[in-house]
Structure 1
Amino acid sequence: MKIKYSIVLLSLITISCFSSCSGKEESTQPPNIVWITSEDNSKHYMRLFDEHGTEAPNIEKLAKGGITYTHAFSNAAVCSAARSTLISASYGPRLATNYHRKLQKVPMPDDVKMFPYYLKKAGYYTTNNAKEDYNIIKHDSVWDESSKKATWKNRNLGQPFFHVFNILTTHESRLHFPESAIKEGTKTNQDSCFIFPNHPKTELFKYTNARYRDLIKKMDAQVGQVVDELEADGLLENTFIFYFGDHGGVLPGSKGYINESGVHVPLVVYIPPKYRNMVDKKPGSKENGFVSFIDFGPTVLNLAGANIPEHIDGKPFLGKNITSNEVSKRDETFSYADRFDEKYDIVRAIRKGKYKYERNYQPFNYDGLMNNYRYIQLGYQEWKALYEAGKLNDIQSQFFETKLPESLYDVEADPYETNNLANNPEYAEVLEDLRSNLNERVKGMPDLSFYPEFYLINNAFDNPVAFGQAHKSEIASYVDIANLSLYPFDSIKDQLEQALNSSDPWKRYWALITCSRFNTEALSLQSVIEAISKTDDELINKVRAWEFLGLTRVDDPVKGMTDALYASKDSAEALLILNSMVLMKDDFKKSYTFNIDTNNMDTEVSQNSEVMRRLEYFNK
């Protein structure tokens, strides 16, 4: 008993050290901080953020007592990649936390912990109710409680707390309804709902939009319940409350894609009366400066007066030494999309002010490529069926068609990114500026995704950040080869041929991808590519070669790709091979037929959960 009493007493003494005898308690005692996170909803569905959104009275009430952030971004557009960014305060491509779902977790960088660790060191009680979903190996000292029952109520008397509350109500799975549900109707008037211009204006999409707005209202009520509980405990006066979405979504083409509806999230921060002196902005105001998930952890630490570690990517936007004038000048965010369940891609984006630049490193991997869990949603199924039937307009069809290597949008004039300005000479200077910006970022991090994921798992996952620094020059060379796709083929043909003949397998890898971007323009390199398809030491390079031959209709890729799949002993490698096979199967111009015999596959590979998603699709 004496030991337990001493621990409690020591804790109370530690808490009291936050207070100054000469000051008022409300200004020197550290504040409580609560995060209320709703799943899978972008800012587009709430009236507070968008003219086409629905009312959310509890969130709106929080906004009257706080700040509404009109430009908040999740960096990644899907759960584990976005949440890993939140907890680490760092960009996923630098840490190798940008793949969803994780095939293997990675450690935090040297000398950096998940940010709640620093709150605990400062005397905070840290709780998470209940979702973690990190792609990072969790340290035992991050949460005092992390479960569906986690609560601030178990802290020591007077101890400040950081509490995370997750709301599942708006999750993608809530739109996995059967056709029979449509007859039940919705509370929201279906004819009143705005339909994104890239979606077909059908009865199903009207219903889905209305159903989702009903869910937003239900989620808002749950936000109110958390606030009511804080008020009942007498905590509203000294508790900062962050409400935000964990990334965008969730109607077709948003979650998992780094367009605005995939990464532009709602964010409100309630400012408690006792701590208004800590915030250089009036309650009820709006903040138009850009903030991103990398900034949320440092902001919490700054409000708490806790240590902010070096070597993270984010910076605070509230608290000590942060002025509204400085935050309002922030006008950039960086976004990334890679593997999304079993579907691979690599897309990066910079938004600066009203302009958004997207770099599609594998533009033949069109957005609508089969992704099993997505296509449970009836909206996805109908959208694809209408495309195949030729019943969509040009804007609605873009989701199912090959992309350009780079895109540029004025998202203030074109918020749904339907008009690509990349080839418009009037925007050449903007394009070049943002292209240079992005290249500096991916080379400077460096961005680990320029190696295939399976290679990173086998060679980098013990210490991804150190691996990136050790291979920074190699990664820069792969970026340069990928960027050859931005120039006329005749001007870069010799460089591509040199890369195809390189002794570095990943230079060959990116040269093959670039050839596929050029499609039939690159047929003058056919003989080199055919040789790679037969003799390369890397199975994935053989597959990338067959991918080019299949896309150009020069040769049937089925046997070559299937043989590579059977030869693979690595489930992550096999998953990447299967992505190319699905691309061939779903090619709308010429579909190739695969008959995969799982008895010929490595047993461990065939039983991997993500591989099984692909095999399920082939075996339908």
Structure 2
Amino acid sequence: MVKSIALRRVFVGIGILLSVVVNSQEKELPPPNIVWLVSEDNSMHYLKMFNDNGVATPNIEGLAEQGLTYTRAFSNAAVCSSARSTLISGTYGPRLASHYHRKLQKVPMPTDLEMFPAYLRKAGYYTTNNNKEDYNFKKKENVWDESSNKASYKNRKKGQPFFHVYNTGITHEGKLHFKKGIVKNKKTQTSLESFTVQPNHPDTELFKYTNAYYRDKIVQMDTQMGTIIQQLKDDGLYDNTIIFYYGDHGGVLPGSKGYLYETGLHVPLVVHIPEMYKHLAPHKLGGKVGGFVSFVDFGATVLSLAGVEIPENMDGEPFLGMNVSEKEVNSRDETFSYADRFDEKYDMVRALRKGKYKYIRNYQPFNFDGLLNQYRYKQLAFQEWADLYAKGELNEVQASFYESRSPEMLFDVENDPYETNNLAKNPEYKSILQKMRKGLNAYEMSMPDLSFYPEHYLIKNAFQNPELFGQKHKKDILKYIKIADLSLGSFENSKKKLEKALNSNDPWERYWALIVCSTFGKQAKKFNQIIKDIANNDSERINKIRALEFIGLTGAQNPLEEMASILVESESVAESLLITNTMVLMTDGPNKYRATMNFDQVSEEIKTAVPLVNRFEYLTRISK
């Protein structure tokens, strides 16, 4: 849940008092320079300083010698724009609808909150970003003094403190879009025998090569980070600059980026803290920190280091600064994460990690993980994974990526780091499952989580002020959460409430009841007639689609032609994306439906929208 603002204010007040009395010399220190070194698409699993299965990164390791290594650092989202929107705002994405990737329309920041570098600028800092933004918020001019591939702290006034972000794309997923010939014709620097392929992946020549190639990119990234670090030294700034290194979310080996597994969320984080600012670190330098920190905390932490007041509407908590205690940071043991639309692929998933346990809530578990996303499948390893599944050549763990999931998953990630053994149905873990479920619901309810409305409805009705919309509709959202959670019990215990929701005058109660029916599958066949009536007569196109989705998943009939006819009526890109997501589920799911589909009648705006072009091309090709 969103933590107590009042309690944080007490800590801040104590910290300010302590900063006055601790050491008279410290009062004379200038505010520290702060630098973020950011690598794209890296989870901690592939860096040796965090995981024995990784490669050495001597420049990043060097930062840790006079700094802190955070062994439990997490992105709150597993894909770029969603993760960076959390970083820049210090807020949870589902509270502000800033978590859809790629954005179809940007949302405003709350009226009482700025992107955090704006507060640094007001306090006299020079703020520079080189060079990636990728936020899902409307652009504001008060955030950066410079933001481009030429942005540099060197342009500040003499003696002016700075906050500088340096981003490298060397390890970005696009770097793994190599051609087939390279696997045989080009050797990697990383030996194919120096690591093991993770257990949910097929242990093939291609997967081994992709692993090694990716590790080579991490080594190159470390070298580039070393160049920036050396530049700070050459400029005489290393000893008065606090330097963060982190990955902007998880890695890009198949099933990582975009997914709420540890490989998509658990990032490397090292913070170098010069001797003159060691009083801002609650821990002994050179050591490791096991307390949980998340991207939602990073903005608050930078403000804390700079001595700038943290806005009340930020969700994050600082983990460095005068107002932070070692005991409190070490006691942090949970992180909340979220995934929704990822390019053209929809799949609403939420997760809570607490201690060694990870709870994942799949709200639409029939949307199997491997559902087509065109950009992901440019990677040869992704293609091979799908081909091997189609041939029946994967073991049960490897094949699960292409099969429906349980609505709830529970993992012991210390003993099962790649989340292969779902404990949710194991009676020995019943009490833990219930605690984790309750904990995740507390986050969703406290925001509240806006994704209990479909994205196209939010764009039309909430995007002028998402936070206000959420507060006005909090009671409704709590109703939808309760309906969605009917899938967690038995059908027998849920059927009366489901029937009531299917017949509700509220279209979004019907929406979630239909999703729950699809989760139960053939167990919900007693509602066949009600659902057929919804498919024919509902006032919301998306409910007609959800009804046809149930009909298709249960094998009653091929729904593709009816879905295509409803798609033609749509005037919304987001709604059309959700419709085509279900159509791809019908073609690629267990029933492998086929139909001749012609999208000529779809409006030109819908037909040419970038996220939809991939869906139309695929559906047209597969229908032939």
TM bin, normalised by shorter chain, reads over 0.9
One-letter code aligned to 1:423: K
Distance 1:603 1:597 in 2: 14
State yes or no: 1:150 paired with 2:157: no
Distance 2:348 2:20 in 1: 49
> Structure 1 residue 138: deviation in Å?
2.2
1:461-518 Cα distance to aligned partner (Å, 9 max, x none): 0000000000000000000000000011011111101100000000000000000000
> Structure 1 residue 291: deviation in Å?
0.0
> Structure 1 residue 591: deviation in Å?
1.0
**Alignment match of 1:359 (pick from 351, 358, 361):** 361
Matched residue SS, 1:289: coil
State yes or no: 1:139 paired with 2:137: no
State yes or no: 1:448 paired with 2:446: no
1:233-285 Cα distance to aligned partner (Å, 9 max, x none): 00011100000000001100000001000000000000012111221222210
**Residue 334 of structure 2 corresponds to which residue in structure 1?**
332
**Residue 6 of structure 2 corresponds to which residue in structure 1?**
none
**Alignment match of 1:437 (pick from 429, 436, 439):** 439
Moved more, 278-287 or 470-479: 278-287
**Residue 180 of structure 2 corresponds to which residue in structure 1?**
179
**Alignment match of 1:221 (pick from 220, 223, 232):** 223
**Residue 571 of structure 2 corresponds to which residue in structure 1?**
569
How is 1:366-405 mapped onto 2 (pairs within 5 angstroms)?
366-405=368-407
Distance 1:594 1:610 in 2: 22
One-letter code aligned to 2:497: Q
Consecutive unaligned residues of structure 2, counting only runs of 5 or more, are 1-18
Matched residue SS, 1:402: coil
1:421-449 Cα distance to aligned partner (Å, 9 max, x none): 00011111100001011111111110000
**Residue 601 of structure 2 corresponds to which residue in structure 1?**
600
One-letter code aligned to 1:175: L
1:308-329 Cα distance to aligned partner (Å, 9 max, x none): 1011110100011211111001
One-letter code aligned to 1:89: G
One-letter code aligned to 2:145: D
How is 1:191-206 mapped onto 2 (pairs within 5 angstroms)?
191-206=193-208
One-letter code aligned to 1:357: Y
One-letter code aligned to 1:158: G
**Residue 190 of structure 2 corresponds to which residue in structure 1?**
188
**Residue 406 of structure 1 corresponds to which residue in structure 2?**
408
**Residue 163 of structure 2 corresponds to which residue in structure 1?**
162
**Residue 505 of structure 1 corresponds to which residue in structure 2?**
507
Distance 2:28 2:222 in 1: 31
User: Given that residues 595 and 618 in structure 1 are in contact (C-alpha distance below 8 angstroms), is that contact kept between their aligned partners in structure 2?
Assistant: no
**Alignment match of 1:244 (pick from 243, 246, 256):** 246
Consecutive unaligned residues of structure 1, counting only runs of 5 or more, are 1-17
Distance 1:597 1:129 in 2: 44
> Structure 1 residue 205: deviation in Å?
0.5
One-letter code aligned to 2:531: I
1:99-122 Cα distance to aligned partner (Å, 9 max, x none): 000000000012100000000010
**Residue 109 of structure 1 corresponds to which residue in structure 2?**
110
User: Given that residues 532 and 545 in structure 1 are in contact (C-alpha distance below 8 angstroms), is that contact kept between their aligned partners in structure 2?
Assistant: yes
Matched residue SS, 1:311: coil
> Structure 1 residue 23: deviation in Å?
5.2
Q: TM-score under structure 2 normalisation?
A: 0.95
Distance 2:219 2:155 in 1: 30
**Residue 233 of structure 1 corresponds to which residue in structure 2?**
235
Matched residue SS, 2:585: helix
Q: TM-score under structure 1 normalisation?
A: 0.96
User: Given that residues 350 and 362 in structure 2 are in contact (C-alpha distance below 8 angstroms), is that contact kept between their aligned partners in structure 1?
Assistant: yes
Matched residue SS, 1:220: helix
How is 1:418-437 mapped onto 2 (pairs within 5 angstroms)?
418-437=420-439
Distance 1:24 1:438 in 2: 45
User: Given that residues 26 and 275 in structure 1 are in contact (C-alpha distance below 8 angstroms), is that contact kept between their aligned partners in structure 2?
Assistant: no
**Residue 67 of structure 1 corresponds to which residue in structure 2?**
68
User: Given that residues 45 and 53 in structure 2 are in contact (C-alpha distance below 8 angstroms), is that contact kept between their aligned partners in structure 1?
Assistant: yes
User: Given that residues 304 and 323 in structure 2 are in contact (C-alpha distance below 8 angstroms), is that contact kept between their aligned partners in structure 1?
Assistant: no
Q: How many residues align?
A: 601
Matched residue SS, 2:35: strand
- Percent identical residues: 58
**Residue 123 of structure 1 corresponds to which residue in structure 2?**
124
One-letter code aligned to 1:490: E
> Structure 1 residue 24: deviation in Å?
4.3
1:173-228 Cα distance to aligned partner (Å, 9 max, x none): 01000011112010110122221100000000010000011011000001101100
User: Given that residues 279 and 322 in structure 2 are in contact (C-alpha distance below 8 angstroms), is that contact kept between their aligned partners in structure 1?
Assistant: no
User: Given that residues 39 and 248 in structure 2 are in contact (C-alpha distance below 8 angstroms), is that contact kept between their aligned partners in structure 1?
Assistant: yes
> Structure 1 residue 599: deviation in Å?
1.7
